[in-house]
Amino acid sequence: MRANSYFIWMVASAIVGALFGSNPAAFQHGEIKLTNPVKPTPESVAAGQKLFEKTCAPCHGAGGKGDGKMAAQLDPKPSDLTDSEWKHGEKDGDIFTVIRDGSKGTGMKGFAGRMTSQDIWNVVNYLRTLGPGSVKPLQ
């Protein structure tokens, strides 16, 4: 029975890894740590910027400082995406997850039904160009 359970776990881990770009070693405390599969090419960053301007700027502002038109109506205020503080995780996978799922207790709603995974990764790549000295992607 023990070998059967191990086999099932290994197959499930391989499937999850294939779907999420992760591997069994990336599991920590029951969470899947996502790795950005989209290279931050000029095309990806440009696509991310367009999506940001359309979907994120109303709250986060055109420059990502948390000063968009909707910001005054939100409590807590939207995050300043240009500073060095990432309250919900600084790795690409953390940022992807917040964009996809939203953030409880804030006005940040998830975009899972409105953006593809590719779109969200493009936004992550664009966000990496904001702030002091353009932050390098953290996996």
Average pLDDT of 55-84? 94
Give domain 34-139's CATH superfamily.
Cytochrome c-like domain (1.10.760.10)
φ and ψ of 102, to 5 deg: 85, -175
Q: State residue 138's pLDDT score.
A: 53
Domain boundaries, the chain: 1-33, 34-139
52 touches 129 (CB < 8 A)? no
Q: State residue 21's pLDDT score.
A: 47
- Which is more confident, 29 or 30? 30
Q: How many CA atoms lie within 13 A of 65 on its CB side?
A: 5
pLDDT tens readout for residues 97-117: 999 999 999 999 999 999 999
